[in-house]
Chains A and B, each alone.
With several copies, the nearest count.
Chain A
Amino acid sequence: MTIRVRYFASLREKMGRIEDTLVAEDIATVGDVWRVVSTGQPLPEQLLCAVNMEYAEASAPVKDGDEVAFFPPVTGGAE
């Protein structure tokens, strides 16, 4: 299956890229996606995840064609 993986803000800079296209068969959850793109790192606790532009937990399932995003805590709005 194919998964589009996107990164934002400080994570995007840390990853050194804005997105990955993952083609793999052994991926079941958001956590699996992270393990592949981070070459084996556990998902940092403060990192947020979204599947198809909705917030999701690391345990959320992913399927072919999904867009998965990882990003640091949000800081919009105003003080």
Chain B
Amino acid sequence: MTVILCESEFSPYAELDAYQQGENAGRYGATAVFVGTMRDLNLGDEVAQMTLEHYPGMTERRLEQIVLEAQARWDLLDALVIHRVGAIKPGEAIVLVAVWTRHRGEAFAACRYIIEELKHTAPFWKKETIKDGERWVESNT
């Protein structure tokens, strides 16, 4: 189980390719992956850049707790969470959640659980740069 905060652009599939260890080969039958990517449009406005502020220390703690909660609910063989912080451009990955399980039902459920909990409880805040200046993203869909 690995949680990483990342200050510069990362390639989610290269990270996944590098992460898959031999030790679990043959044991897992299902991998569910979610990648959240920055869009160039939000609330009808073109967004040129986004800055992701976070609460160092609490962020890592909350992400690790979420992964442990998922592990308690489903039979996870492994999980990887990577989240960007700092300045992000459209098209760049913001977050990667990947889980490895024996069966696909629990892979989908655990992956969904982690991204929803992350979104609603991990201390990240988005500030967008639009044509007219900057604005905090206050709502969380």
Contacts and interface: CB of A to CB of B under 8 A. Distances in A.
Interface of A: 6, 8-10, 50, 53-55, 69, 71-79
A79 B104 CA distance: 6
B53 interface: yes
B53 A77 contact: no
A50 B34 CA distance: 28
B89 interface: no
A71 B125 contact: yes
Q: Which DSSP category, helix, strand, loop or mixed, fits chain B's interface? A: mixed
Categorize the interface residue count of chain B: 35 or more
Nearest to A9: B125
Given A9-B136, A10-B136, A77 B119 contact: yes
B115 A77 contact: yes
B58 A78 contact: no
A69 B56 CA distance: 12
Contacts of A10: 125, 136, 138
Considering residues B34, B53, B125, which has the most beta carbons from chain A within 10 angstroms of its beta carbon? B125
B126 A76 contact: yes
Considering residues A8, A69, A76, A79, which has the most beta carbons from chain B within 10 angstroms of its beta carbon? A76
23 contacts: A8-B53, A9-B125, A10-B125, A10-B138, A50-B58, A53-B57, A53-B58, A53-B62, A54-B58, A69-B58, A69-B123, A71-B123, A72-B136, A75-B126, A75-B140, A76-B54, A76-B124, A77-B94, A77-B115, A78-B29, A78-B34, A78-B37, A79-B102
Given A8-B53, A75-B126, 8 more contacts: A50-B123, A74-B120, A75-B137, A76-B52, A76-B126, A77-B94, A78-B104, A79-B39
A77 B67 CA distance: 14
